[in-house]
Amino acid sequence: MSQVSLLNATPLSAARIASEEEALAVARELAAEFSEGASERDRERILPYRELERLAKSGLLAITVPVEYGGIDVSNAVLAEVTAILAEADGSIGQIPQNHFYILEALRHDGTEDQKRFYFGRALAGDKFGNALSETGTRTVGHYKTRITTDGPGFRINGRKFYSTGVLFADWIAIFALNEDEQLTMSLAPRGTEGIEIVDDWDGIGQKTTGSGTTILNDVAVPASAVVSHHKGFERPGTIGSVGQIIHAGVDLGIARAAFRDTVNFVRTRSRPWTDSGVERASDDPLTIAKVGQIAIRLEAATATLEYAGRKVDHAQIDQTDGNVVAATLAVATAKVLTTEIALEATSTLFELAGTASVREGLNLDRHWRNARTHTLHDPVRWKYHVAGNFYLNDVTPPRSGAL
């Protein structure tokens, strides 16, 4: 049976979200549920299979499907805020769908009409997409050893991937491989395809339950109908990288919010004032008040910048001129820098203000710092400063990349 005919054979099982307001409301409802077990999942490394099924059935994973294919195509500002809401509840759950939405954006750009109808239909049905992209042992993070070769009417893929975020939970695995012309392709294989081995070996200090382990590809057969010419998305102006990056920024913002929330709660209820402060409560310490205000202001600034960047990406999706795409790229890079910095600052400040009692293992408040430190390493923000500076100083257009 072909993939296109499978679309008609599988009934829809996910809810349909009708508006951006509903998407935000559903995200908040799920976040309240997911936050309850977040600390235990992190401490015991309990993978969130049940939570990901709830997320899929809620309809949130289809909110970026274009209107012409049955979706509501939410603003990227809303997509980023939905991500932040989920990440505040659980950083890992906030990150897992990032690749899912990146893949849908790649399909929007370079999928054939048949591919769009089928895979967007699967997203509407509640299917989850995970990625097999990054590799270790290559010359740079942008180089790949995984190969896709012609095999009769279809193809075969061989290689090994690491940081395969979301694959453990996915219904479809997006495998990125170089073809005979050294061009990057994206092939979508159903979970359980022969030759795909998924190894749950992610042992990072943070984002422990993202399932970002190893994917081994041993002579995996894929039909031509499942292969997308991903390289084309970076041969012309586009928003694949901006969409991927703004979601990462949303994850960092959510982690920062979680740390700030726990800082305020701890200082209000458990911290003691310093001996020389002259106050009865830690929450009345003027230096503590000022530091909390500083974090709150920077959180607001990061939130506003993220929303602004989302609108820039919206505009670039509608009108993909060089100027619009560059404006979106720079706005998202700005948001990514600010959310990275506030995530690291807020998660460290938690302990500075809450005091020694906050480092007890049973509280597991260090998960916020571990999550922030781990996720913000996804790509180096120091290069985003370089991209912005090089554009404004030397008129150098930002490179077209999945990391910008």
Cβ atoms of 131 and 138 closer than 8 Å: no
Domains, the chain: 20-128 (1.10.540.10), 147-230 (2.40.110.10), 236-394 (1.20.140.10)
State how far the alpha carbon of 123 is from the alpha carbons of 68, 99, 105, 333, in Å.
14, 13, 12, 28
Cα–Cα distance, 315 to 326 (Å, whole number): 11
Retrieve residue 182's tokens.
């050294």
How far CA 397 is from CA of 64, 238, 389, in Å, comes to 27, 13, 11
Here the tokens at position 22 are 């509903």
Residue type, 219: D
Report pLDDT for 12: 54
CA dihedral 324, 326, 331, 336 (to 10 degrees): 140
pLDDT reported for residue 244: 97
* Gyration radius (Cα) of the chain, Å: 22
**The pLDDT value given to residue 9:** 39
Ranges under pLDDT 70 in the chain:
1-12
Round to whole Å and give the CA distance between 258 and 241. Answer: 26
15-33 pLDDT, tens per residue? 999 999 999 999 999 999 9
DSSP assignment of 221-237, as one string? Answer: EE-GGGEE-GGGGGSSS
CB 78 within 8 A of CB 72: no
Query: Burial of 192 by CB count in 10 Å (0-12 exposed, 13-18 middle, 19+ buried)?
Result: exposed
Count Cβ atoms below 10 Å from residue 285 Cβ, excluding itself. 21
pLDDT digits 0-9 by tens, 338-359: 999 999 999 999 999 999 999 9
Instruction: State whether residue 284 is helix, strand or coil.
Output: helix
Write down the pLDDT at residue 140. Answer: 82
Q: In whole angstroms, what is the distance from residue 74 CA to residue 68 CA?
A: 13
Unique residue bearing structure tokens 């077209």: 400
